[in-house]
């Protein structure tokens, strides 16, 4: 495993997480009622699993690096104000370090009461169409990344 391979895998993984998070936020209805830190925790297992499946080199790194890559993707998605996202990530990091720690006062929501939600196929189609349009336009930013604009002023991967 070279440093360049690892660096590339981390950057590509963060981009993958950012896209997955944007789509998740786009189609999410029930999560809007949950505090952001709980949304991040709930989303993490599937996202980290997919990230490691796509980039097997990440199986050989520390768990901390995988989580930092995950957090980097969430920040890059730019779906929430930066301060709000950083506060939520810090709460998740504290919780991971000390599982008995509380996340925030807003996190005391009883998740067992939440009803399963159905994904509106129109919403999913709209999100996928927006991603497809953004990728086909290939709008390069000065930093070399592709800017994805997903309605309502949401941006990512800049």
Q: Is residue 127 part of a domain?
A: no
Q: Is residue 134 part of a domain?
A: no
Tens of each residue's pLDDT in the chain, 158 residues:
678 889 999 999 999 999 999 998 888 765 667 899 999 999 999 999 999 999 999 998 999 999 999 999 999 999 999 999 999 999 999 988 877 666 554 444 333 343 434 445 555 555 555 555 555 544 434 344 333 333 344 444 43
Q: Is residue 140 part of a domain?
A: no
Q: Is residue 117 part of a domain?
A: no
- CA pseudo-torsion sign 18, 19, 20, 22: positive
Q: Is residue 65 part of a domain?
A: yes
Domain of residue 83 covers: 3-101
Axis-axis angle for helices 36-54, 63-77 (nearest 10): 120
What total number of domains does the chain contain?
A: 1
Quick count: other Cβ atoms within 10 Å of Cβ 84? 11
User: How do residues 114-140 score in pLDDT, each as one tens digit?
Assistant: 343 444 555 555 555 555 555 554 443
Three-state SS at 156: strand
What is the gyration radius of the CA atoms in the chain, in angstroms?
16
Q: Is residue 149 part of a domain?
A: no
Tokens of 100: 């008995």
Q: Is residue 118 part of a domain?
A: no
Q: Is residue 59 part of a domain?
A: yes
How far apart are alpha carbons 38 and 104 in whole angstroms?
A: 10
Query: Is 0.75 surpassed by the pTM of this model?
Result: no
């Amino acid at each position: 495993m070279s440093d360049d391979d690892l660096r590339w895998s981390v950057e590509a993984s963060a981009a993958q997480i950012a896209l997955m998070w944007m789509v998740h936020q786009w189609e999410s209805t029930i999560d809007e009622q949950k505090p952001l830190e709980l949304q991040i925790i709930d989303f993490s297992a599937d996202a980290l699993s997919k990230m490691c499946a796509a980039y097997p080199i990440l199986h050989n790194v520390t768990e901390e690096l995988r989580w930092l890559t995950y957090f980097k993707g969430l920040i890059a998605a730019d779906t929430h104000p930066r301060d709000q996202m950083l506060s939520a990530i810090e709460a998740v990091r504290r919780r991971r370090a000390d599982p008995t720690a509380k996340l925030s006062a807003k996190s005391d929501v009883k998740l067992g009461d939440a009803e399963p939600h159905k994904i509106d196929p129109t919403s999913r189609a709209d999100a996928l169409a927006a991603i497809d349009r953004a990728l086909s336009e290939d709008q390069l930013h000065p930093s070399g990344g592709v800017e994805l604009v997903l309605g309502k002023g949401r941006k990512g991967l800049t």
